[in-house]
Amino acid sequence: MFGFRGTLLRVNLTTGEIKKEPLNLELAKKYIGGRGLGTKIYYDEVGPNVDAFDEKNKLIVMTGPLSGTQTPTGGRYMVITKSPLTGTIACSNSGGFFGAELKNAGYDGIIVEGKAEKPVYLSIEDDKVEIKDATHLWGKVVSETTDELKKVSPEKSRIMCIGPAGEKLSKIAAIINDYDRAAGRSGVGAVMGSKNLKAIVAKGTTKVDIYDKDGLKASLQDKMKKIKDNGVTGQGLPTYGTAVLVNIINENGVFPTNNFQEAYFEKADNISGETMTDKYLVRKNPCYACPIACGRWVKIEALNMEAGGPEYETLWAFGSDCGVDDIQSIFLANHYCNEYGLDTISAGATIAAAMELYQKGLVKDDELDGLSLKFGDKDAMVEWTKKMGKREGFGDKLAEGSYRLCEMYGVPELSMSVKKQELPAYDPRAIQGHGLQYATSNRGGCHVRGYMISPEILGLPEKLDRHTLEGKAEWVKVFQDLTAAIDSLGLCLFTSFALGAADYAEMLNLVCGFNLTSDELLEAGDRIYNLERMFNLDAGIKPEEDTLPKRLLEDAIPEGPSKGHVHRLSELLPKYYEVRGWDENGIPTKEKLEALGLKNI
């Protein structure tokens, strides 16, 4: 079998049974792999009505057909489950080296079922798969867990694990691999914790078979040239990492500040990629087969150590969103998120929401154990990150995410979230297409389900006026469908700055021996998006939740380059539903589902 390894692992933690099952290639081709295939398997086997923490829930770790190959960024893997944060279908994406190693071990994915009686970890060494005791690892942070497992595992094993946040079922808990790469969003780490599964170790010694090696080699020369010649993938990201966006986004007046009360941060350059690179960068930290190398390794002065550096979203979440301009404090918060296993976007945004609750007098000093909760307090921001990770004191409330926190105080509208998941680092009031993408994302507030920042801010593949509505529904649909395909292939979304659907289809065909056109690839993305939509509808996620926080719809940006703008979602949403082939209520029509081969959904 080419591209795919042809085998799925099924692990039942309740009974201890481990099975190796053949991959359904026709199903894999229809849903590509990764996100698509994992979602299809989950939908068929579990369905939308299970509670995220129920033993009947499943956790699916899935690679794509290009994972483990030398295609650019071919190291991604997905974690698919029911989200405890949102109630939607969760599919969290991570890079690093774990996904490629799982493919090298001979597996396209792992279906984790049941719940272990005590903490365990899963050890995979080619054909040898075992469930092992992890009682001694429970309570340890990610670096300690990883180091301990490396001592008892084959050399160059790759490890994904949870920290204390996942063990304590924080709804914003992440799964961390390779010390600082995260399947971060939607609380997938808490589902892993609910199963008493501390870690998965993978070591493989075989390689993915390629259908047309010579053809792929020639194709990759073309793809690599496009990536190197592109200003974002060839210059901006390699030089400054994702943090290259800080000054760009701020200069456009869409850099959320103080829990989205403002959209411009005067001290943004203090936390920018340029500042991080000039003063604190130790080295680049690329993922498997990645020519872009946007990952950073930085010096953390307070701990006298070097560690993974923050991404753009993290610099924003713990920076301007909390009113903090001290980059070293953000390094610390990022480090503690990696150690405790927290999603940095949700963690920082939740602290920002708490700061506004305090600003408005809703959270009182006697709840805070002597700590500050004022915007701009860098030391308090770091301490709250640690308390959140350990669920200590007020940190126990923070660990539930911003929506539930604000709901506790009677003001859920102060949570800057969609479907209960915190919004990332772009104020949609002045980026109309991106705001529409936020509102319609199948996993709640998310920037990487259709990155409209690319055309609306960066001008790729062409420059769009970010304030206009014309054509935005069509653009959002195409970006969402293409992203679903890229996620399913096992590649990084950043390649889409330089590559298009035809490039991805060509690589897939050369690796797997398929004959998909670019239109068929996008149709597969459309199929995946509609399957996710049907899951959410069946799970009780109503179309009325395709919306944005009230502030972003009604309160104009007060100052800065985008002063005076609000998001015009009510004008965009009907057109989006129409373009999607959904009815006026946002429900996929029978004809649409049948056209995509989903008539039985």
Query: Any idea what the CATH number is for the domain that residue 435 is in?
Result: 1.10.599.10
49/345 Cα distance (integer angstroms)? 27
Residues 138 and 268 in one domain: no
Per-residue pLDDT at 600 = 85
Sequence-distant contacts of 5-9: CB under 8 A, at least 24 apart: 5/103, 5/106, 5/107, 5/108, 5/208, 6/108, 7/106, 7/107, 7/108, 8/107, 8/108, 8/109, 8/110, 8/111, 9/107, 9/109, 9/110, 9/111, 9/124, 9/129
Where is 489: in which H helix or E strand?
helix 472-489
Q: At what angle do helices 501-512 and 518-538 cross, to 10 degrees?
A: 100
Query: Any idea what the CATH number is for the domain that residue 43 is in?
Result: 3.60.9.10
End-to-end CA distance of the chain: give it in Å, rounded. 29
* Mean pLDDT, residues 221-243: 97
In a domain, 535, yes or no: yes
482/518 Cα distance (integer angstroms)? 10
Residues 249 and 275 in one domain: yes
Query: Any idea what the CATH number is for the domain that residue 278 is in?
Result: 1.10.569.10
Residues 140 and 168 in one domain: yes
In a domain, 50, yes or no: yes
Q: Are 39 and 80 in contact (CB under 8 A)?
A: yes
Residue 375 has φ and ψ, to the nearest 5°, of -55, 135
Q: Are 52 and 63 in contact (CB under 8 A)?
A: no
pLDDT at 403 over 90: yes
Q: How many CB atoms lie within 10 A of CB 210?
A: 19
The reported pTM is 0.98
Residues 467 and 405 in one domain: no
Residues 64 and 194 in one domain: yes
584/571 Cα distance (integer angstroms)? 13
Q: Which two tokens stand for residue 197?
A: 């599964």
Beta 197-203 vs 158-161: how paired, if at all? Answer: antiparallel
Q: Kindly give the residue spans of alpha helices, DSSP state H, lying in 361-464.
A: 378-390, 395-398, 402-408, 432-440, 453
Domain boundary residue, one of 422, 453, 485:
422
In a domain, 238, yes or no: no
Any idea how long the chain is?
Answer: 601
User: If you average pLDDT over every residue of the chain, what do you get?
Assistant: 98
Peptide bond into 461 cis (omega under 30): yes
* Strand-pair partners of 11: 18, 112
Q: Which of 560, 284, 235 is nearest to 429 (CA)?
A: 560
Residue-wise DSSP of 60-82: EEEE-TTTTSSSTTTT-EEEEEE
The dihedral sign for the CA sequence 382, 297, 142, 425: positive
Domain boundary residue, one of 203, 230, 261:
203
Half-sphere exposure of 371 (CA within 13 A, CB side): 24
Where is 132: in which H helix or E strand?
strand 128-133
In a domain, 336, yes or no: yes
In a domain, 31, yes or no: yes
Per-residue pLDDT at 373 = 98
Residues 59 and 170 in one domain: yes
Starting at the edge strand found earlier in the chain, the sheet holding 197-203 runs 128-133, 120-125, 197-203, 158-161, 175-177, 181-183
Q: Which two tokens stand for residue 398?
A: 């923070």
Domain extent, residue 161, equals 7-203
pLDDT at 197 over 90: yes
Q: Are 577 and 537 in contact (CB under 8 A)?
A: no
Residues 52 and 193 in one domain: yes
Q: Are 400 and 171 in contact (CB under 8 A)?
A: yes
Residue 601: which pLDDT band, with cuts at 50, 70 and 90?
A: confident
Residues 379 and 465 in one domain: no
Number of domains comprising the chain? 3
Reported as a single tens digit per residue, the pLDDT across 281-328 is 999 999 999 999 999 999 999 999 999 999 999 999 999 999 999 999
Domain boundary residue, one of 173, 203, 233:
203
Q: For residue 299, is it left (φ>0), alpha (ψ between -120 and 50) or beta?
A: beta
Reported as a single tens digit per residue, the pLDDT across 178-191 is 999 999 999 999 99
Beta 197-203 vs 181-183: how paired, if at all? Answer: unpaired
Reported as a single tens digit per residue, the pLDDT across 434-484 is 999 999 999 999 999 999 999 999 999 999 999 999 999 999 999 999 999
553/564 Cα distance (integer angstroms)? 12
Q: At what angle do helices 344-359 and 327-340 cross, to 10 degrees?
A: 120
Residues 442 and 376 in one domain: no
In a domain, 382, yes or no: yes
Residues 270 and 195 in one domain: no
Reported as a single tens digit per residue, the pLDDT across 483-533 is 999 999 999 999 999 999 999 999 999 999 999 999 999 999 999 999 999
498/505 Cα distance (integer angstroms)? 14
In a domain, 568, yes or no: yes
In a domain, 286, yes or no: yes
Q: Fill in the DSSP letter of residue 471.
A: T
Residues 376 and 448 in one domain: no
Residues 367 and 253 in one domain: yes
